[in-house]
Structure 1
Amino acid sequence: MRKLRWQILIAVIALAAIAVLLVGQKQVVQGIIPEPQSGGVYVEALVGSPSRFNPLLDFNNQVDRDVDRLVFSSMIHFDSRGNPQPDLAESLGISVTGDVFNVVLRRNALWHDGTPVTTEDILFTVSLLRNPEMPIPPDLVELWNSVEVIAFDALNIQFRLQEPYSPFIDYLSFGILPSHLLAGKTPQEIINDPFNLAPVGTGPYKLDELRSENGRITGMVLQAYENYYLETPFIEKFVFRYFSSTEEALEAYRNGDVLGISHIDPEALNDVLAEPGLNVYTSRLPQMSIILLNMDHPEKPFFGDEIVRKAMMMALNRPWMIDQVLNGQAVEAHGPIFPGTWAYFEDVDTFEYAPDEAISMLREEGYGLPPGGGTVREKDGIFLAFDLVFPNTLEHTALAQMIKEYWAKIGLAVNLIPLEYDALLRDFLEPRQYHAALVDWTLARSPDPDPYPFWHQAMNTGGQNYSKWDDRRASEYLEQARVTPNMFERTRLYRNFQVHFSRQLPALPLFYPVYNYAVSDEVRGIQLGPVFDPSDRFATILDWYLESRPKIEEEETATE
């Protein structure tokens, strides 16, 4: 019996020792995930018509910019928050004074014909940006003529400004053209050069084939560039086909001819959403619809009253406007800086739909209905009646009519004046000969927020401060933010500006429209953040893939 007890004791001790050894051991958990592989052909429907595949000639053609985004490169690009990232540049340095920008190019960057990329290509492209004969925005030509550019050698180049200007980094994102293929040609020759239909770039894809029928370009085939200075894309071929409408592109998807649609019109969105296997990606566009108020108009002094402006804002049911007029394809705006960007600050005063509170605010401020009867409020004999100018489109007309009806409910009388956009700008906004204006601000391809041109005192005349907001505190924030190279300091200054803007409300931000992009669920690895141009949907193109193989992923977990 004693012998048996000793055996039991030995067994217990052994089990205890094993338990001690197992404590803290890690258990391996396995899972199977797809591992991207090279291969596959992706076909995308571009809604529009091609013109020229040249990054200096694509300002007015979205589908050209879509192609150029894959074929050409720039020194830097921006992530979805608007932070600069190296592209052809290996590094970027900014002087402490904010007026000198140094760029070092990558040594392994090659044009699609195998020629190395050098600072000579940068100098050549800048020379075109300076040339007023090129179809480039005049303000861009003016800026580049004020910048001194010095190439120290084949890889090192410097940009010297006349004064500190932090937003200049935006201007370093221009597409680079090959000097060895285009140098010596006049602007007119470059505009009409065969190069524009047989582009040679430095991007992740190179031209393989241009397809046409009856003299019209119907599509193009791009091939993954095997010598791309970053990683070679997984998707081997990238094919674009051109269509005149979302509806035509959707039909092509149903027929199995394409896997993606570049742009979804609001009218076609429900049909696209109902399509099985077609994923819709949505992003905020760099555009804002806003109501400007002429705060210095001698006949409408009430626009200078902060309480009136806030009451006008609270009278607008913006979610309903977005739903009814824009088919839900917009998000409410609360300030002049786009959400999702590095400069955006969300903790500001916001104004929800509250018409009864708006009426109370007007009453307390002394704006009442006439004793003899009437529906329009007045104070000291000045009625809250004014004109609202707006672009003569179906969408803007519907919005303007809703705005008029909302404001009528709190005692404001609005006379609607539809105009062609050129006339609205030339005859009303620029000379400041307007009362209120419903407009769209587009800041495409401008990741740096820099609200200076729209809200600084110096822009009251001759600039774009059409509201004539004469506020010293706001101007100081903007002055300092555009000269300091310190991003933390710029963020703080823009935060202060946004808080101050929301408290003063010099204009009425309405909403930001959104961009919808549809791609088959066969395509994986897609990520879409806020975009500064629809072509930014290709910002993560190196992560997209069609082909994959199973991969076992092991994860160790501690046992107790």
Structure 2
Amino acid sequence: MKKLRWQILVVAVTVVIVALLLLSQQPISTSFLPEAAPGGIYTEALVGSMGRLNPMLDWNNPADRDINRLIFSGLIRFDAHGLPQPDLAEAWGTSPDGTLYNFSIRSNAVWHDGQPVTSDDVIFTIEMIKSSGSLFPQDIKDLWSQIEIKRFDDKTFQFKLPEPFAPFLDYVTFGVLPKHLLETIPADQLATAQFNLQPVGTGPYKFDRLTTSGGQITGVVLNSNEDYYLPGPFVEQIVFRFYPDSASALDAYQQGEVLGVSQITNDVLQQALMEPTLSVYTSRLPQLGLVFLNLNNPTVSFLQSDKIRRALLLGINRELIVSRIMQGQAIIADGPILPGSWAYYEEIEHFDYDPDAAAALLKAEGYVIPASGGDVRAKDGQYLTFTLTHPDDAVHTRIAQSIQLDWSLIGVRIDLQAVSYDSMVNDYLTTRNYQAALADLNTARTPDPDPYLFWHQSEATGGQNYSQWDNRTASEFLESARTEADFSSRSRLYRNFQVLFTKDMPSLPLYYPVYSYGVDSQVQGVQVAPMYDVSDRLALVAEWYLVTRRTLEQTPVPTVAP
């Protein structure tokens, strides 16, 4: 259980640009109030290409996951605060010791072909997850290999865990597959099954057809599921059309070919914001940009001082990084747990850019500019100089250069080492052969905010605690939070962990990247949900509706006395 990847909740932040439609009539002021009504077609420009419409095979294809999100359902889903809510399962219960989970499937849940959803479908899907045919990561396969499943009847079953594991509900959001359609297909042949081009699920939309041109798949057409077990959906048909990049997708919107753009990247963001009828939504991604500090490298022993680490954070102009380098497509980070999560501590200490305070801290620790001259602080012959390893792409290179300049202003010199991201992870972070490293932690598809893997002391050797932070108290908080089922109790444990993290500052949190997409203003009911994956922008699509029917409300215009 302890080798599962870190999960972190993403809370959404919305920036919506909506054009105001003004209508003037003679002695009467009129306003049109849209009403939710079934019908209409929503067409979206989806950046990417389709591979296979099967939740066992979409791990590496965001476009597939977007479509699968509408076709398939999991046992549960998560709300805006990262709390579990019923989906295919109408209810579940946990034993007092946290090792048994009983689930009950909705009585009205049926497949798109009309067959009922049963416990056998869930058990079959889990067997597929564990098989060589699925593309699920090995740690998830290992998790399910440790869990016993007991079938009670067609609608109820039980999971038995070897030990309490509070984030377990994260792992029952997988898209359930129909056993009656796939049980005759060997796992190693799943990737080539016809099912992947004609999927049958339980979600709010069902597969209708593919669109093609020149032998290539150019789009997917989905129709509303009239037998959906939850309210909605309102939009009668959703059409995805594939485009290679955000620029061509936005162009399709400008040409009137689509009503939505799945991704708006920095290169077209300003252009998108100028579109009067396009609402641009921005959600925080499940990522954290930070500087790892190697606390167990004798060549930079000064990094073992929490005051030095705090000075380094105070000396980084993170607002400039976010506003200029990332063009506003990020939010300044405070720590390893995202705001908006039930686990986030609202009173966590915030650090603004303060080079004077940073310099004062370094001086108080005995690091001063030598009398012999120079611009790098030193103490007992040890200079505050080290190497910052960073990914070699343009954005990370500019961020590293910005940090280099900021730190030079407080008497700290760093050399920059640009490497490929894979090399940085495999050759530097994993081997601990680094001094400091700029990295983005991607924690997608797992909503639970458990940060165990990156900060528990047991992960310092051979694990993902790349900073090698060895704090027993912090580790105890994380251990207890992993076995405590009560959310309020877990929240207190994570609050204590966050206070200790910001006090000790084992690494330097920089930013949370955000994801932007656009939807035409005639599409109503769009709500920004947390993003554990970019497909979560479609999590509440069943509540979307097109303004196809309006009610006229008349308001008398006040007259002015002569």
The TM-score, its normalising length taken from structure 2, stands at 0.91
Match of 1:336, SS?
A: coil
Task: Please state how far the C-alpha of 1:344 moved relative to its aligned partner.
Answer: 0.9
Aligned residue number for residue 251 of structure 1: 251
**Structure 1 runs not aligned, ≥5 long:** 1-30, 554-560
User: Alpha-carbon deviations, 1:484-532, whole Å to 9, x = none?
Assistant: 1111100111111111111111110000011111011110011103311
Aligned residue number for residue 472 of structure 1: 472
State how far apart, in whole Å, the 2-side matches of 1:400 and 1:307 are: 22
Asked if structure 2 preserves the Cα contact closer than 8 Å seen for 1:72 and 1:203, the reply is yes
State how far apart, in whole Å, the 2-side matches of 1:291 and 1:101 are: 39
Task: Please state how far the C-alpha of 1:135 moved relative to its aligned partner.
Answer: 2.3
- The 5-angstrom pairing of residues 143-542 of structure 1 reads 143-542=143-542
Task: Please state how far the C-alpha of 1:187 moved relative to its aligned partner.
Answer: 2.2
**Structure 2 runs not aligned, ≥5 long:** 1-30, 554-562
State how far apart, in whole Å, the 2-side matches of 1:285 and 1:502 are: 22
Task: Please state how far the C-alpha of 1:35 moved relative to its aligned partner.
Answer: 2.4
State how far apart, in whole Å, the 2-side matches of 1:182 and 1:417 are: 50
Task: Please state how far the C-alpha of 1:408 moved relative to its aligned partner.
Answer: 1.0
Across the aligned residues of Structure 1 and Structure 2, the Cα RMSD in angstroms comes to 1.6
Number of residues of Structure 1 aligned to a counterpart in Structure 2: 525
Match of 1:36, SS?
A: coil
Task: Please state how far the C-alpha of 1:418 moved relative to its aligned partner.
Answer: 1.0
State how far apart, in whole Å, the 2-side matches of 1:472 and 1:152 are: 42
Asked if structure 2 preserves the Cα contact closer than 8 Å seen for 1:132 and 1:138, the reply is no
Amino acid at match of 2:371: P
Amino acid at match of 1:353: Y
User: Alpha-carbon deviations, 1:228-253, whole Å to 9, x = none?
Assistant: 11123110000000001111111111
Aligned residue number for residue 93 of structure 1: 93
State how far apart, in whole Å, the 1-side matches of 2:497 and 2:32 are: 49
Match of 1:102, SS?
A: strand
Match of 1:516, SS?
A: strand
User: Alpha-carbon deviations, 1:117-159, whole Å to 9, x = none?
Assistant: 0011111111111124532211111111111111111111111
Aligned residue number for residue 26 of structure 1: none
Amino acid at match of 1:301: S
Task: Please state how far the C-alpha of 1:552 moved relative to its aligned partner.
Answer: 8.8
Aligned residue number for residue 65 of structure 2: 65
Match of 1:357, SS?
A: helix
Asked if structure 2 preserves the Cα contact closer than 8 Å seen for 1:219 and 1:242, the reply is yes
State how far apart, in whole Å, the 2-side matches of 1:529 and 1:183 are: 35
State how far apart, in whole Å, the 1-side matches of 2:269 and 2:505 are: 34
State how far apart, in whole Å, the 2-side matches of 1:203 and 1:395 are: 38
Task: Please state how far the C-alpha of 1:34 moved relative to its aligned partner.
Answer: 2.9
Asked if structure 2 preserves the Cα contact closer than 8 Å seen for 1:38 and 1:547, the reply is no
Asked if structure 2 preserves the Cα contact closer than 8 Å seen for 1:93 and 1:103, the reply is yes
Percent sequence identity over aligned pairs:
48
State how far apart, in whole Å, the 2-side matches of 1:62 and 1:116 are: 29
Task: Please state how far the C-alpha of 1:360 moved relative to its aligned partner.
Answer: 0.9
Match of 1:209, SS?
A: strand
Asked if structure 2 preserves the Cα contact closer than 8 Å seen for 1:97 and 1:484, the reply is no
Amino acid at match of 2:448: D
Match of 1:300, SS?
A: helix
Task: Please state how far the C-alpha of 1:195 moved relative to its aligned partner.
Answer: 0.8
State how far apart, in whole Å, the 1-side matches of 2:342 and 2:32 are: 36
Match of 1:227, SS?
A: coil
Task: Please state how far the C-alpha of 1:550 moved relative to its aligned partner.
Answer: 4.3
Match of 2:465, SS?
A: coil
Task: Please state how far the C-alpha of 1:100 moved relative to its aligned partner.
Answer: 1.1
State how far apart, in whole Å, the 1-side matches of 2:548 and 2:124 are: 42
Larger Rg: 1
Amino acid at match of 2:267: E
Aligned residue number for residue 13 of structure 1: none
Amino acid at match of 1:38: P
State how far apart, in whole Å, the 2-side matches of 1:201 and 1:123 are: 16
Match of 2:483, SS?
A: coil
State how far apart, in whole Å, the 2-side matches of 1:374 and 1:205 are: 67
Task: Please state how far the C-alpha of 1:483 moved relative to its aligned partner.
Answer: 0.1
State how far apart, in whole Å, the 2-side matches of 1:546 and 1:132 are: 42
State how far apart, in whole Å, the 1-side matches of 2:487 and 2:370 are: 53
Task: Please state how far the C-alpha of 1:284 moved relative to its aligned partner.
Answer: 0.8
Aligned residue number for residue 28 of structure 2: none
Aligned residue number for residue 76 of structure 1: 76
Match of 1:101, SS?
A: strand
State how far apart, in whole Å, the 2-side matches of 1:196 and 1:110 are: 19
Q: Pick closer, same or farther for the CA change 1:325–1:317 going to 2, 3 Å.
A: same
Asked if structure 2 preserves the Cα contact closer than 8 Å seen for 1:315 and 1:353, the reply is yes
State how far apart, in whole Å, the 2-side matches of 1:132 and 1:457 are: 32
